[in-house]
């Protein structure tokens, strides 16, 4: 009995494979391309290590990233304190380790909000066209008329500088990129015959946008998002450094760099290590992004 | 015919820019007038006497309704009046005029550095594809867009100022050197006045900030230049030029580079925006008395008139730069005029 069931299952699985063959082939090819782009692999490894550090932070260090220990102020790097200690006696290594959680949180929420606003605005603009498109795109232009960091700074300062407002500010600055992309895709999709067919069947605009235009427009947005993650970290760290982002004692990497600024000459380690962490993670995202761009490049795919 | 079309294009773009600037002013109004629940309380602290609070609310025009505030605000902007800075107690417009030359000088020197380094590296990278110089140039580029500006600046300061003592540690000039004041650009003024001590001093001060600020732009210019060169080198007319028997040097420098430079022009223009963003951080690290640092200081103490003026001015300059890029692109490539 169970044998029969097993065969039937295997048959169904084979059928499934058969039907999905082109997609699976495509995935295999993508994987092959990914493997042959060494730099993309290096980037992926860096990002995975970054995620791992953020998840397992408490296992990697026994020091509290926030509690002060004034007896052990400004100690140089040693086997006890790998990256030394800061002016409050906090272990810089564990601040950098826990900082990865802060950065990951920022990336995560900023991605959700900015992609959300961006695709909504972009799809509505592209789908309806005409006056709606004109108005929404002019609003986008208005946000694009500011240098990014300056607008984000003004937003956080006005909302009150803290982690949540940093995230809101960066999202408000970043959505324009996705809006433009989603709009371009929506314009392409809406003139397809199948959209006409669905409309002929009586589907409402909201339904067409949500179930037919959105899924077709989202992939370039997601690709762009991975390309921009490095920039998100750099902006958040820049805000933290200026004192307009996450506030002490939150171990945000940019803010730690700023902590070490007055001790730069004698206690170089407070500034150096968190900055290095930013550089490595951003490098990882950039390598991965470059790799993705190469893999998606039709000239390379052929 | 051509000229008329280009003319209408420019007029159309100028008209659009006016609309966008109006929106920009509205966004800044929201940031400085609507979002802050209690700007006066934030400036004076919670325990300030009520008369003082009222006086300040009146001074800032906050005792009026929001729509009325908006009308007053727009009126002020149209007349170039951003109010009086709460911190320096001077007209914000005067402050901006004083601080802006330092920023523009830094941006220009960075741009020159970034363009030269980026274009040269891009060409070498494409011509010697997959050779040592190409690998070096690509590592240089990817590091340039990955390193945080403020961190790189601090480390270079540590090395070249504190440890080696080769370069000065910040500011535009040394304590007892007084550069001549004509345009406000130290290097240019020194040359005009023939004051070489002051020129040399200014140059030593600008090297580090200009490098730090220009690095990321140099990196992106190098990348675009490389890709563009590789594209051009594959074209038929290059093959024709080669088969005519022209030397490699002539083919590359006379035919390929010229055509490969067109997309780079756009990137150079667009980099200007990231330069203005980066200037905020670079100026803070190198105590550079520019507009970026002015805005940061204003934001940290919630000096709203200064924030309004500074932010609007930066957005205006940025939009103007983009407009110039678009127009020069339209001149170079007529297909863009849609």
Q: Give the model confidence (pLDDT) of A131-157 as tens digits.
A: 999 999 999 999 988 888 999 999 998
Q: What was the pLDDT predicted at B178?
A: 77
The total number of structural domains in chain A stands at 1
Q: For residue A118, what is the domain's CATH number? A: 1.10.3720.10
Distance from CA of A61 to the nearest CA of B (A): 25
Q: What was the pLDDT predicted at A1?
A: 46
Nearest CA in chain B to A143: B24
Task: Identify which of A242, A264, A282 has the shortest CB distance to residue B296.
Answer: A242
CB contact under 8 Å between B151 and A234, yes or no, is no
Q: What was the pLDDT predicted at B47?
A: 74
Kindly calculate the radius of gyration of chain A based on its CA atoms and give it in whole angstroms.
24
Nearest CA in chain B to A236: B148
Please indicate, yes or no, if residue A230 is contained in any of the structural domains: yes
- The whole-chain average pLDDT of chain B stands at 85
Please indicate, yes or no, if residue A136 is contained in any of the structural domains: yes
CB contact under 8 Å between A147 and B314, yes or no, is yes
Distance from CA of B319 to the nearest CA of A (A): 6
Q: Which residues of B touch A268 (CB under 8 A)?
A: 158
Q: What was the pLDDT predicted at B54?
A: 81
Nearest CA in chain A to B143: A283
Please indicate, yes or no, if residue A124 is contained in any of the structural domains: yes
CB contact under 8 Å between B142 and A287, yes or no, is yes
Mean pLDDT in residue range B303-307 = 87
Q: What was the pLDDT predicted at B84?
A: 85
Q: Give B8's pLDDT tier (boundaries 50, 70, 90).
A: confident
Q: Which residues of A touch B145 (CB under 8 A)?
A: 230, 282, 286
Please indicate, yes or no, if residue A12 is contained in any of the structural domains: no
Q: What was the pLDDT predicted at A35?
A: 76
Whether B85 contacts B306, CB under 8 Å: yes
Which of B277, B291, B293 best tests the A interface by mutation, with the highest count of A CBs <10 A?
B277
Distance from CA of B149 to the nearest CA of A (A): 8
Please indicate, yes or no, if residue A8 is contained in any of the structural domains: no
CB contact under 8 Å between B295 and A148, yes or no, is no
Does B258 score more than 60 pLDDT? yes
Q: Give B80's pLDDT tier (boundaries 50, 70, 90).
A: confident
Task: Identify which of A141, A157, A279 has the shortest CB distance to residue B151.
Answer: A279
Does B1 score more than 70 pLDDT? no
Q: What was the pLDDT predicted at A4?
A: 53
Q: What was the pLDDT predicted at A113?
A: 96
Does B322 score more than 50 pLDDT? yes
Intervals of chain A under pLDDT 50 = 1-2, 302
CB contact under 8 Å between A138 and B19, yes or no, is yes
Q: What was the pLDDT predicted at A297?
A: 67
Please indicate, yes or no, if residue A63 is contained in any of the structural domains: yes
Segments forming the whole domain that contains residue A269: 39-301
Mean pLDDT in residue range B232-258 = 83
Q: Give B305's pLDDT tier (boundaries 50, 70, 90).
A: confident
Q: Which residues of A lie inside 8 Å of B (Cβ-Cβ)?
A: 138-139, 141-143, 145-151, 153-155, 157-159, 230, 234, 237-238, 241-244, 254, 257-258, 261, 264-265, 268, 271-272, 275-276, 278-279, 282-283, 286-287, 290
pTM over 0.90: no
CB contact under 8 Å between A142 and B24, yes or no, is yes
Please indicate, yes or no, if residue A119 is contained in any of the structural domains: yes
Mean pLDDT in residue range B142-152 = 92
The helix-helix angle for A148-159 and B257-285 (nearest 10°) equals: 30
Q: How far is CA A182 from CA A143, A195, A198, A297, B160, in A?
A: 17, 17, 21, 19, 47
Which of B141, B299, B303 best tests the A interface by mutation, with the highest count of A CBs <10 A?
B299
Share of chain A above pLDDT 70, in %: 95
Please indicate, yes or no, if residue A23 is contained in any of the structural domains: no
Q: What was the pLDDT predicted at B296?
A: 93
Mean pLDDT in residue range B40-67 = 77
């Amino acid at each position: 009995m169970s044998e029969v069931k097993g065969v039937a299952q295997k048959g169904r699985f084979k059928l499934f494979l058969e039907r999905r063959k082109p997609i699976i082939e495509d995935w295999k090819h993508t994987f092959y391309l990914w493997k042959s782009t060494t730099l993309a692999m290096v980037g992926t490894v860096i990002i995975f290590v970054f995620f791992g550090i953020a998840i397992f932070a408490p296992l990697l260090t026994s020091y509290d990233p926030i509690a002060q220990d004034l007896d052990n102020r400004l100690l140089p790097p040693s086997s006890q304190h790998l990256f030394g200690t800061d002016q409050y006696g906090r272990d810089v290594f564990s601040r950098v380790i826990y900082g990865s959680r802060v950065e990951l949180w920022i990336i995560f929420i900023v991605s959700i909000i900015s992609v959300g606003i961006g695709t909504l605005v972009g799809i509505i603009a592209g789908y309806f066209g005409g006056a709606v498109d004109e108005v929404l795109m002019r609003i986008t232009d208005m946000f694009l008329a500011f240098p990014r960091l300056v607008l984000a700074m003004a937003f956080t300062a006005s909302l009150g500088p803290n982690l949540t407002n940093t995230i809101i500010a960066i999202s408000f600055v970043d959505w324009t990129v996705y809006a433009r992309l989603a709009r371009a895709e929506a314009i392409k999709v809406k003139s397809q015959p199948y959209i006409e067919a669905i409309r002929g069947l009586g589907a409402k605009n909201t339904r067409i946008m949500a179930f037919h235009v959105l899924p077709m427009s989202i992939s370039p947005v997601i690709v762009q998002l991975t390309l921009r993650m490095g920039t998100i970290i750099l902006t958040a760290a820049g805000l933290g450094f200026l004192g307009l982002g996450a506030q002490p004692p939150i171990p945000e990497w940019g803010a730690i760099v700023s902590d070490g600024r007055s001790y730069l000459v004698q206690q170089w380690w407070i500034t150096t290590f968190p900055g290095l962490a930013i550089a490595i993670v951003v490098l990882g995202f950039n390598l991965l992004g470059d790799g993705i761009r190469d893999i998606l490049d039709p000239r390379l795919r052929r | 015919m051509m000229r008329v079309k280009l003319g209408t294009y420019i007029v159309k773009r100028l008209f659009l820019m006016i609309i966008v600037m109006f929106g920009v002013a509205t966004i800044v109004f929201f940031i400085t007038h609507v979002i802050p629940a209690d700007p006066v309380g934030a400036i004076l602290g919670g325990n300030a006497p009520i008369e003082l609070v009222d006086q300040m609310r009146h001074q800032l025009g906050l005792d009026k309704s929001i729509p009325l505030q908006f009308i007053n605000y727009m009126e002020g902007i149209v007349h170039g009046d951003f109010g009086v800075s709460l911190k320096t107690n001077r007209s914000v417009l005067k402050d901006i005029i004083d601080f802006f030359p330092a920023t523009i000088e830094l941006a220009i020197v960075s741009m020159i550095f970034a363009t030269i380094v980026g274009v040269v590296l891009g060409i070498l990278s494409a011509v010697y594809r997959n050779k040592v110089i190409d690998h070096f140039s690509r590592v240089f580029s990817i590091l340039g867009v990955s390193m945080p500006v403020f961190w790189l600046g601090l480390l270079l300061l540590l090395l070249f100022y504190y440890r080696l003592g080769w370069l000065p540690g910040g500011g535009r000039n040394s304590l007892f050197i007084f550069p001549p004041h004509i345009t406000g650009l130290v290097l240019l003024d020194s040359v005009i006045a023939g004051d070489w001590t002051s020129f040399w001093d200014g140059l030593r001060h600008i090297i580090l900030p200009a490098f730090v600020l220009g690095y990321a732009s140099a990196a992106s210019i190098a990348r675009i230049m490389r890709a563009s060169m590789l594209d051009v080198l594959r074209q038929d007319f290059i093959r024709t030029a080669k088969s005519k028997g022209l030397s490699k040097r002539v083919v590359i420098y006379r035919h390929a580079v010229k055509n490969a430079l067109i997309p780079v022009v756009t990137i150079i223009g667009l980099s200007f925006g990231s330069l203005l963003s980066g200037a905020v951080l670079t100026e803070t690290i190198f105590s550079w008395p520019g507009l970026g640092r002015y805005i940061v200081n204003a934001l940290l103490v919630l000096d709203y008139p200064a924030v309004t003026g500074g932010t609007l001015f930066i957005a205006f300059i940025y939009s103007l730069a983009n407009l110039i890029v678009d127009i020069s692109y339209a001149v170079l490539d007529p297909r863009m005029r849609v």
